[in-house]
């Protein structure tokens, strides 16, 4: 199961009999998920211009899952005593696949969030599974190769685009904060052992946007090993560095800018 994903470098782990449940009850849903993930790509320009937030590539993955009948779903669990509601809890899950039988798979994508979001997701899955609302929980996050290889990916972008200054970065849609500009400038301008711009920028960008305190494979694995979310059957999927592409260039940047303009127009309309 998920052999094609693993052949492409994705990390896949099954916990608490999730493999058997998926194979027996959700083979079609498993195929849908695999095909959506195999088609996922993230142009490097989206990582740079987005400053580390959720890339358009992960938004396209979300859209693909929604189109395959994996919509965002709110679960409301109520405790009723003699007809009187005593307690009510709601849980919103980004993607849920429901079969005609009523069985459900719940899925969360944590591309680049603060790592405590893993605790929220896993505990939600645990409660929903205990209440019979879901059969399996799935978490998709940055895999080990993508997280550990982010510096190399960013540096490759800078080298291939011949970026040598913040002015060059502006062409690619990136505007540093004053702190980032100051830190990089201090390293490149010091009298003793100055650091080349590309090296200084890469270190600052990755540390700020894809640091150890964000959602990635090791942080997820640590929680699973501690039993967070247990005994809900879990499937963990790590996105590999191979989903990052380098051939789109300014076309990818234009898509990012168009999306940002759309969001800004929507916000202005709401005012």
Average pLDDT of the residues in 189-218: 95
Q: Is the pLDDT of residue 270 over 60?
A: no
Average pLDDT of the residues in 222-234: 96
Average pLDDT of the residues in 56-72: 91
**Is 138 in contact with 30 (CB distance < 8 Å)?**
no
- Tell me whether residue 145 is in a domain: yes
pLDDT of residue 269: 53
Going by pLDDT thresholds of 50, 70 and 90, the confidence category of residue 184 is: very high
Q: At what angle do helices 56-67 and 250-270 cross, to 10 degrees?
A: 70
What's the pTM value of the predicted model, to 2 decimals? Answer: 0.88
**Is 1 in contact with 27 (CB distance < 8 Å)?**
no
Share of the chain above pLDDT 70, in %: 89
End-to-end Cα, the chain, rounded Å: 48
Average pLDDT, the chain: 89
What's the total number of domains in the chain? 1
Residue 196 phi, psi (nearest 5): -55, 150
pLDDT of residue 136: 97
Q: Is the pLDDT of residue 82 over 70?
A: yes
- Residue 19 or residue 262, greater confidence: 19
Q: Is the pLDDT of residue 56 over 80?
A: no
CATH number of the domain encompassing residue 227: 3.40.91.20
Which of the residue ranges 48-52, 191-195, 236-240 would you say has the lowest mean pLDDT? 48-52
- Tell me whether residue 242 is in a domain: yes
pLDDT of residue 216: 97
Domain limits for position 145: 3-72+95-266
- Tell me whether residue 80 is in a domain: no
pLDDT of residue 54: 66
Residue 263 phi, psi (nearest 5): -65, -45
pLDDT of residue 87: 77
Which of the residue ranges 84-93, 159-168, 251-260 would you say has the lowest mean pLDDT? 251-260
- Tell me whether residue 88 is in a domain: no
Q: Is the pLDDT of residue 267 over 50?
A: no
- Tell me whether residue 190 is in a domain: yes
- Tell me whether residue 36 is in a domain: yes
- Residue 253 or residue 244, greater confidence: 244
Q: Is the pLDDT of residue 264 over 50?
A: no
Share of the chain above pLDDT 90, in %: 75
Written in H, E and C, the secondary structure of the chain is CCHHHHHCCCEEEEECCHHHHHHHHCHHHHHHHHHHHHCCCEEHHHHHHCCCCCCHHHHHHHHHHHHCCCCCEEEEEEEEECCEEEEEEEEEECEEEECCCCCEEEEEEECCCECHHHHHHHHHHHHHHHCCCCCEEEEEEECHHHHHCHHHHHHHHHHHCCCCCHHHHHCCCCCCCHHHHHHHHHHHHCCCCCCCHHHHHHHHHHHHHCCCCECEHHHHHHHHHCCCCCCCCEEEEEECHHHEECCCCHHHHHHHHHHHHHHHHHHHHHC
Going by pLDDT thresholds of 50, 70 and 90, the confidence category of residue 159 is: very high
- Tell me whether residue 87 is in a domain: no
pLDDT of residue 252: 66
- Tell me whether residue 160 is in a domain: yes
């Amino acid at each position: 199961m998920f052999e094609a994903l693993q052949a492409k470098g994705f990390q896949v782990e099954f916990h608490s009999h999730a493999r058997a449940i998926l194979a027996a009850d959700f083979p079609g849903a498993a195929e849908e998920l695999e095909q959506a993930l195999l088609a996922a790509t993230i142009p490097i320009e989206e990582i740079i211009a987005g400053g580390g937030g959720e890339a358009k590539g992960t938004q396209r993955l979300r859209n693909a899952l929604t189109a395959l009948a994996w919509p965002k779903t709110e679960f409301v669990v109520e405790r009723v005593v003699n007809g009187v509601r005593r307690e009510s809890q709601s849980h919103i899950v980004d993607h849920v696949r429901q079969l005609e039988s009523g069985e459900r798979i719940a899925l969360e994508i944590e591309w680049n969030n603060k790592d405590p979001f893993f605790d929220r997701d896993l505990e939600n899955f645990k409660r929903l599974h205990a209440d019979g609302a879901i059969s399996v929980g799935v978490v998709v996050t940055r895999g080990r190769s993508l997280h550990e290889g982010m510096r190399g990916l960013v540096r490759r972008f800078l080298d291939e685009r011949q970026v040598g200054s913040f002015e060059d970065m502006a062409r690619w849609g990136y505007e540093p904060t004053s702190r980032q500009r100051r830190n990089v400038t201090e390293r490149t301008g010091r009298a003793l052992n100055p650091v080349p711009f590309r090296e200084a920028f890469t270190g600052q960008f990755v540390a700020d946007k894809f640091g150890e305190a964000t959602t990635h494979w090791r942080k997820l694995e640590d929680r699973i090993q501690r039993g967070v979310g247990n005994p809900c059957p879990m499937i963990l999927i790590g996105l590999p560095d191979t989903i990052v592409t380098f051939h789109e260039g300014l076309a990818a940047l234009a898509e990012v800018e168009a999306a940002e303009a759309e969001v800004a127009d929507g916000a202005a309309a709401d005012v």
